[in-house]
Every structure is written in C-alpha cells, then in structure tokens.
Structure 1
Amino acid sequence: MTHDQLLVDVKDGVATLTLNRPERKNALDLPMRDGLDDAIRRIRRDRDIRAVILRGEGDNFCSGGDVRGMSPRSAEEGRNRIDDLHPFVSALVDLDRPVIAAVDGVAYGAGFSLALAADFVIATPRARFCMPFIKIGLVPDCGAFYTLPRVVGLSRAKDLVFTAREIGADEAQRMGAVFEIQSPERLCARAVQIAQSLARAPSTAFGLSKRALNMSLGSDLRTLLEIESVAQGIACSTEAHRDAVQRFMEKLPAHFQWAAE
C-alpha cells in the first residue's frame, strides 16, 4: 500500500512504514504527514496488525520538516500547522501496539521526535540525532516536549534543545534514546525480529502496560495504584492470561519470548 511519500507494507502481523523521500533525506512534508496520519488510523482499526516499524528509505531516517516548504507566517498560521500534526503524534505515542524505529543516518528535528515516539529505537553506528530547532528560530515539535524529557531526563533534554548539538548513536544510547546499535546491513532484519517477537506478546497486557507507563510521570502514586488495579483486573480476565497459566502448569514454553540476539 502507498500513500504519496509513505510506503506501507504489512507482513506476518507487522506493518512497516517507510518514509520515502530519499532525495530529501526523507524530510517530512505535508503528503508524508498525511500518509502517516492515514496509516496510523488504519493500523488502530486493524487488530491483525500487532507491531509497527518506522524506517527511512535509503541511508537516512528523517531530516526533519522540509525547510524548503517553510516560510514566515503569522502566529495563527504557525499554530494551525502544528495543530494539524497533533492527532497523528498522539495516535502514534498512544498506539496500543509496539512501535520500533529503525534509524540510519540523520534523525533531525521532527525526525528525532518521530523516533522518540517509538517504544524501541534501533540505530546504526552512523545514525545522528539532533534537535536543531533553535537554529532556525523555532521550538521542538512532533511531541518532543513530551517524549524527550521522558526518554533522556530533563537536564539532558535541555542540553539537546538549547545547544542544538548533534549526537551519535553511542551517546544517544548512553542517554537512553537508543535501545540497540546494529550494523546498517543488520538494522532492518533486527527491527523485524524485535517486532515479530513483540507481536506475540499478549495484546491486552501490552496495551494496558504501555498506556500506564505513558501516564506514569504525570500521575501520583494513588492514581497509578488505581490504574494498576483496573488494568490487572482486565488482564486477569483474558484468554491470553488463562492460556499462559495453563502452559506454565504444564511446563510448556510461553508463547511470548523476547528476541534476544
């Protein structure tokens, strides 16, 4: 399936979304944004899709917003442009299925933000991450004010936003923004391996856990204990839980096994 600048491939329950403007380092333009929005909406409705991979065509993930398409505008126009992004960003961050970003080359600006919206970021040694917004008189977007401090901590988030410096895969991993570093040749295969592994996780338990974790830093203990109780009550009633208990009692291997290398 295609949608202008976005390629969508679904195989064995895993949807791979490929940003497809390699000549512009997969810069995010309006058709690509609309394609992502449409793809995430479709995925939310399709329960047969159990995991998502985000990647860029060619040697780069995403160089951010297409600066050539930007022009000085009024505050209202600027706000409307960003407001149009928010439904897609919210849908991606809150998606109740695992999302893996496979990052090669640049992940700049909105590209960095897009990677941060994933649950796991797999990067190559040549991956480069940057929040360059301040260099062009803008602020981080695509949800980075939410995701970046949660992933790397407030102090490091200020470092990356205020200095607009580029970091490599090793430093990004030390900060917690990168889960694994893989060779360019191994990147996509490892992303698929992780996605297929997580696709076998009990979907209800995964979705409930992800939602609670996303709420955790903005909630107090009492609220999270209530969320825990409600979520566990739902999870206990699922067929996946009953089957897992039965397999445990019969000393059979669990259906879900992490894809360790």
Structure 2
Amino acid sequence: MTATPFIHRGNPEEFAMETIRYAVADGVATLTLDFPKRKNALNGTMRREIGEVVHQLRQDTSVRALILTGAGSDFCSGGDISSMQGEISAEQGRQRLAAIHPWLEDLIHLDRPVIAAVDGAAYGAGFSLALVADIILATPRARFGLPFLRLGLVPDCGVFYTLPRMIGLQRAKTLMFSMRELSAAAALEQGIVMEIVPPEALQARALALASAFTEASPVAVALTKKALNASLNQDLHSMLEMEADGQGIAFATAYRQEAATRFLEKQPPRYRWPD
C-alpha cells in the first residue's frame, strides 16, 4: 500500500505505508518502523519509504520534534540479510548505501530535535539509525550491537560519523571490532542512552520530551543543534563566530522578546524540560 503524501497543516494526520507508519499531531511527528514479523529489518522498501517521509518532514515546518521508534518488541534488527544472498558486485553494494545517504544526512542535520525510543533489538543498521537521534531513550529490554564483521561487512548508515562523536574513538572501535552486545544499562554508562524507562512508559516519555520542544523557540533550537553538530569539526574562532551570528538572529525573534517580558513579569517560561 502506498499512502497519499501529505504536508501537515495543523490537524492530526497519519498514514501507513508497507513497512512504516508516520503520524503528526500537535507539532510532534512519529516515524514508526512497522515490519515486526522481520523485527523491523531495514529492507529496500523501508529504506525508500523512510526517504519519502523524511522529505515531507523537512518541508513541514509545523513539526517541532520527531520521534523514531519501532513497532512490536524491537526497534530495528538491522539490514535485511535475506536480500544479501548471492553474488553482489562492488557497485551494487555501494549503491545500496548511497541511495539512503541523502535522508540519513537530512535526519542527522534536521533543524529540529530527533528522539529515538528503543525497545528490544537495535542491531547493525538499527543501532546506526538510533544514533542519528539527538536523544536516545531505551527500555531495560533494549540491546545494541554492531555485528557487521560477522557478515564480512563494514559498519554503515552513518555510524562512522555518529558513534565516535558520542563515545570517543577507542570505544567506537571496540564496539565495532568486538561486535559486543550492549545492554541498556551498558549503553547508558557509555553515554549512548540518555534514560532507561519501563517498556510501558517508553512512548509517553518520548512524547513528553518531544512535546516540550513545541513550546521552545524553533530558531534557538535549530541554531543550537546546528552549532553542536559543527563543533567537533571547527576551530575555536569559527565556533565563536557561529555563536555570535546565532545569538544575533535569536535576539531578533519575537519569541525572545516574549520570553524576556515573561521573565520580568515573573510569569513561568513557555519552554521547560520535563522531569
């Protein structure tokens, strides 16, 4: 089934495709990997459908935060190994990844927060997909691993970029070379997971965090995320310039003027981080 594309205009909207579901309500988008009979394996159809949804998401300025999650008892078990049998040329292998690079980059650099809600397996490309998020929530049942070398493959889906920046080069190398599975507690200790929540509370917690951003300044959030994403590739002077430019833009927004007035009048701020 192919759903009719939509651009959200304020009312709750939802559509289902073959392997994913996408919903927008009250400024929060939820992209659900929905192929539970294969543990939400990232097959060719899912890769294409995610790309279509991300393209729509980037145009929909009413969306202030995105939740990534999986249907059933797993987040994503990785690439669909059944599609990797037989002889595959170097060019075919390269094209499998090159085709998804545009939407991977769009998700990593999305000017709105991305929250991954992980239950069960997040293996291989599933782990990589979780790492495009700004915040990862996990249940105690979550498991993370990069078993690419077991199949004679190279880790992919952006993990060479995301993981070393999150946990450091040595730990990233160890996870890739050892193919070690991380429990949710171990992932929390290494700084991969931000919070561990009970399975029954996972979606509610992800929604609470995402909904908080609907009351934040979209300009300040976008500029903050852009600067943080650039920080490990820039020198001090460049970051100070980015900081000054961003602050100049933020000072000129109506949101900043309202926030200052609320502060001086001892009114509660609009944006609060949910406890």
TM over 0.5: yes
Secondary structure of the residue aligned to 1:197 is helix
- Deviation, structure 1 residue 3: 2.4
TM-score using structure 1 length? 0.98
Letter in 2 for 1:143: G
Q: What per-residue deviation string (whole Å, max 9, x for no partner) do you get for residues 9-39 of structure 1?
A: 1111111111011010000011111111111
CA distance in 2, matches of 1:201, 1:91: 21
Instruction: Show the counterpart of 2:34.
Output: 20
Instruction: Show the counterpart of 1:222.
Output: 237
- Deviation, structure 1 residue 221: 0.5
- Deviation, structure 1 residue 169: 0.3
Q: What per-residue deviation string (whole Å, max 9, x for no partner) do you get for residues 220-259 of structure 1?
A: 1111111111111111111111111111111111100101
Say if 2:151 is the partner of 1:136.
yes
Letter in 2 for 1:58: G
Which of the residues 43, 60, 63 maps onto 1:46? 60
Secondary structure of the residue aligned to 1:9 is strand
Instruction: Show the counterpart of 1:69.
Output: 83
Q: What per-residue deviation string (whole Å, max 9, x for no partner) do you get for residues 161-200 of structure 1?
A: 0101101000000111001001111111111111101222
Which of the residues 75, 87, 94 maps onto 1:79? 94
Pairwise mapping of residues 217-256 of structure 1 onto structure 2 (< 5 A)? 217-256=232-271
RMSD over aligned CA atoms reads 0.8
Secondary structure of the residue aligned to 1:48 is coil
Identity of aligned residues (%): 52
TM-score using structure 2 length? 0.93
Instruction: Show the counterpart of 1:96.
Output: 111
Moved over 3 A (4+): none
> 57-66 vs 189-198, which deviates more?
189-198
Gaps of 5+ in 2: 1-14
CA distance in 1, matches of 2:98, 2:26: 34
Gaps of 5+ in 1: none
Secondary structure of the residue aligned to 1:246 is helix
CA distance in 2, matches of 1:50, 1:39: 15
Say if 2:23 is the partner of 1:31.
no
Letter in 2 for 1:146: Y
Q: What per-residue deviation string (whole Å, max 9, x for no partner) do you get for residues 120-164 of structure 1?
A: 111000100001111111111111000000111111101100101
CA distance in 2, matches of 1:155, 1:225: 29
Which of the residues 201, 207, 214 maps onto 2:216? 201
Q: What per-residue deviation string (whole Å, max 9, x for no partner) do you get for residues 72-127 of structure 1?
A: 31211111111111001000000111111000000001100111100111100010
Letter in 1 for 2:43: D
CA distance in 2, matches of 1:154, 1:200: 36
